[in-house]
């Protein structure tokens, strides 16, 4: 008579099992589950015997994750896909399971260097996303799309950074040495006005400051609900959306490039692709009138 041992809940393999049994995983599109299932098998095989506690030591576990990712170093898209599935399981371990404090895969570089400089969230994308996400996540999306701030800077954005006519913050890029000044255009001012002041930081999740992992988990759940799991659209692409909004508000491409830390060519490419011709012409006329003092 064979013995059946209870799974060791201190090992990483148990997290993969819990993720597979979760409503989050079950709600994925069937096509996504077909692609992810073999990767979850590989992840369980490679990392399964490690203790969950080891994933709470990023400086120790990241080299192991990189080594595993590098099995597909000659196929960058495949390597990034492997990392995506691992990151998803780790994020689930952070929230809602609370098994680890943070997602160590977030500090591991993706290998595929495709050009995403002209990819943005359109107004319809944002409308559809906000229709099914929480009000707290909608605030994150709106603020990202109207400020162009990176996620790390959004998380630390405090009410003290909001002055009379601008947001003034030292960006996490360049070790806090670069100061960003974002004009409070009408739409941005309206968003800040409607966000409740529940904390020193502007963005909160259930009255607590957001974390990277919480945002990643919430966005993944929303994308799964929308059937967007395999769609080529990520949080960083909201910076391009902000570029179009800045332009329509009358900022020059040079000023937009300075705010975002981009080249003027990148800004120009986004404006040409996504800003309607009439809106672009009106924005230029407004800039000319301002320059002429009329």
**Domains held by the chain: number:** 2
Sign of torsion, CA 132 137 141 146? positive
42-51, 111-120, 236-245: lowest mean pLDDT where?
111-120
Q: 179 with 248, same domain? A: yes
* Residues 158, 20 share a domain: no
Angle at 23 between CA 17 and CA 24, to 5 degrees: 85
Q: Identify whether 200 is part of a domain.
A: yes
62 and 148 share a domain? no
In a domain, 52, yes or no: yes
| Helix, strand or coil, per DSSP, at residue 56 | helix
Is 268 found in the same domain as 210? yes
Residue 182: inside a domain = yes
Q: Are the beta carbons of 116 and 269 closer than 8 angstroms?
A: no
The percentage of residues in the chain with a pLDDT greater than 70, rounded to a whole number, is: 87
Does one domain contain both 133 and 86? no
Backbone angles phi, psi at 201, to 5 degrees: -85, 150
Is residue 211 situated within a structural domain? Answer: yes
Question: Which residue, 283, 261, 286, is CA-closest to 272?
Answer: 283
Confidence of residue 24 (pLDDT cuts 50, 70, 90): confident
74 shares a domain with 45:
yes
Interatomic CA distance for residues 182 and 161, integer angstroms: 10
Q: What is the pLDDT of residue 174?
A: 53
Q: Is residue 262 predicted with pLDDT exceeding 60?
A: yes
Whether residue 6 is contained in a domain is answered as: no
Among 50, 75, 107, the domain-final residue is 107
Instruction: Evaluate if residue 293 carries a pLDDT over 80.
Output: no
138: domain CATH number is 1.10.443.10
Same domain for 148 and 238, yes or no, is yes
20 and 155, same domain (yes or no)? no
CB 24 within 8 A of CB 224: yes
Average pLDDT, the chain: 86
Helix (H) or strand (E) holding 62: helix 58-69
Residue 213 within any structural domain of the chain: yes
Residue finishing a domain among 107, 136, 169? 107
Residue 2 pLDDT level (bands cut at 50, 70, 90): very low
Domain of residue 272, residue span: 123-292
Shared domain for 288 and 211, answered yes or no, is: yes
- 117 falls within a domain: no
Is 183 found in the same domain as 286? Answer: yes
Average pLDDT over residues 109-131: 83
Q: What mean pLDDT comes out for the span 254-267?
A: 90
**Coil, helix or strand for 208?**
strand
Q: Give the lowest-confidence range in 25-29, 50-54, 59-63, 203-207.
A: 25-29
Determine what percent of the chain falls in helix, strand and coil, rounding each to the nearest 5. 65, 5, 30
The more confident residue out of 17 and 112 is 17
By residue count, the chain amounts to 294
- 14: phi then psi, degrees, rounded to nearest 5: -65, -30
132-185 tens-digit pLDDT:
999 999 999 999 999 999 998 999 999 999 999 999 999 876 555 688 999 999
Contact present, 189 and 142 (Cβ < 8 Å): no
Among 73, 107, 141, residue at a domain's last position? 107
Residues 176 and 276 in one domain: yes
Separation of alpha carbons 118 and 127, rounded Å:
20
- Condensed to tens digits (0 to 9), the pLDDT of residues 172-218 reads 765 556 889 999 999 999 999 999 999 999 999 988 999 888 888 88
Residues 138 and 95 in one domain: no
How many Cβ atoms sit within 10 Å of the Cβ of residue 113? Answer: 8
Checking if the pLDDT of 66 tops 90, the result is: yes
> How far is it, in rounded angstroms, from Cα 139 to Cα 218?
13
- Say which range, 13-27, 98-112, 236-250, has the weakest mean pLDDT: 98-112
pLDDT band at 1 (very low <50, low <70, confident <90, very high): very low
Question: What is the pLDDT, as a whole number, of residue 289?
Answer: 60
Q: Is there a domain that residue 118 lies in?
A: no
3-state DSSP call for residue 32? Answer: helix
In contact, 267 and 243? CB cutoff 8 Å: yes
Give me the pLDDT at residue 153, please: 93
Tell me the whole-structure pTM to 2 decimals.
0.67
pLDDT confidence of 286, banded at 50, 70, 90? Answer: low
Segment 116-124 mean pLDDT: 81
């Amino acid at each position: 008579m064979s013995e059946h041992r209870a799974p060791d809940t201190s090992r990483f393999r148990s997290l993969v099992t819990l993720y597979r049994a979760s409503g989050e995983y079950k709600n994925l599109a069937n096509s996504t589950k077909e692609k992810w299932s073999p990767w979850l098998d590989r992840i369980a095989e490679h990392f399964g015997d490690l203790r969950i506690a080891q994933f709470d030591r990023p400086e120790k576990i990241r080299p192991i994750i990189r080594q595993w990712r590098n099995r597909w170093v000659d196929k960058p898209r495949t390597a990034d896909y492997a990392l995506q599935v691992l990151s998803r399981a780790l994020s689930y371990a952070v929230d809602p399971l609370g098994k680890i404090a943070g997602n160590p895969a977030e500090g591991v570089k993706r290998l595929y260097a495709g050009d995403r400089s002209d990819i943005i969230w359109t107004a319809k994308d944002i409308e559809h996303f906000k229709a099914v996400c929480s009000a707290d996540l909608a605030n994150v999306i709106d603020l990202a799309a109207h400020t162009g701030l990176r996620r790390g800077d959004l998380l630390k954005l405090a009410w003290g950074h909001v002055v009379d006519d601008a947001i003034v913050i030292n960006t996490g890029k360049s070790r806090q040495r670069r100061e960003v000044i974002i004009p409070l255009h009408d739409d941005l001012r309206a968003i800040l006005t409607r966000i409740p002041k529940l904390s020193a930081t502007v963005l909160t999740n259930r009255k607590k400051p957001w974390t990277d992992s919480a945002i990643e988990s919430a966005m993944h759940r929303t994308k799964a609900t929308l059937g967007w799991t395999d769609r080529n659209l990520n949080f960083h692409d909201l910076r391009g959306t902000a570029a179009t909004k800045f332009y329509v508000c009358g900022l020059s491409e040079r000023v937009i490039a300075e705010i975002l830390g981009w080249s003027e060519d990148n800004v120009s490419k986004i404006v040409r692709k996504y800003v309607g011709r009439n809106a672009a012409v009106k924005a230029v006329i407004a800039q000319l009138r301002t320059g002429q003092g009329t």
